[in-house]
Amino acid sequence: MARTITSPTDAAAELSERFSRARRAVFFGGAGVSTASGIPDFRSVDGLYHQHFAYPPEEMLGHDFFVSHTAEFYEFYRERMICLTARPNRAHEKLAELERTGHLAAVVTQNIDGLHQRAGSRTVHELHGSVHRNVCERCGAVYDAAWVLATEGVPHCEACGGLVKPDVVLYGEPLSERVLLASVRAIQEADLLVIGGTSLVVYPAAGLVNYFGGDELVIVNRERTPADEAADLVCACDIAAAFDF
């Protein structure tokens, strides 16, 4: 049975020790990594799925809704999915530092906020894409998040007039095969896998942890996850505090 600790101080000490002795560590993260940066997650008490909108958030984040209610999709997307004022928190910063010092090989993330890169991480596999890339479906021109925020209604390409779509994976859409394969490879090659800030219930992303066959599996998440029983250590505490080492 996994050892469970709830003290952020103890968690930080344990994580520091494990990263220091790992030969190839990988971090797999979800929405909980960015909550300390002011970006709400989906399933917690204060998450998006517990807030009231004209349509359920999980419906508005679907491919079918994007096609049939494009204007409503973009209203929600601008208001709730893009947060350019958010700043990396201690977890993002420490992960970038661990990569710079050779103690972390890669970050695999379900987040679309780009905060890992903003903190300085370089090898980041974005399973669900990024709000910072918005692509014209006709000519392939790419626009950043600030450009989308500056538009009104449904944004169209300045070059050809085509519909611009966020480079994020909506419900009903497949993950990028390139990113998926790179993520699987990173997890397979890891001797330490730290899973943080994710409930591990969103598939197929959550299924990637099954590819891990390394020495140590660590979970850092306030709530229980399906992988807790298989973990060597569970840190049931705030993730930003746990990475304050």
Question: Which token pair is 147?
Answer: 């450009």
Rounded to two decimals, the pTM is 0.93
3-state DSSP assignment of residue 107: strand
Counting every residue written for the chain, the total comes to: 245
* Residue range 112-144, pLDDT digits in tens: 999 999 999 999 999 999 999 999 999 999 999
Determine the Cα–Cα distance for residues 81 and 206; give it in Å rounded to an integer.
Answer: 21
The residues spanned by each domain of the chain are: 1-39+87-128+175-245, 40-82+131-168
Provide the annotated active-site residues: 128
- Beta-bridge mates of residue 165: 135
CATH number for the domain whose boundaries are 40-82+131-168:
3.30.1600.10
- Please name the CATH architecture into which domain 1-39+87-128+175-245 falls: 3-Layer(aba) Sandwich (3.40)
* Residue range 51-90, pLDDT digits in tens: 667 888 889 999 999 999 999 999 999 999 999 999 999 9
3-state DSSP assignment of residue 243: coil
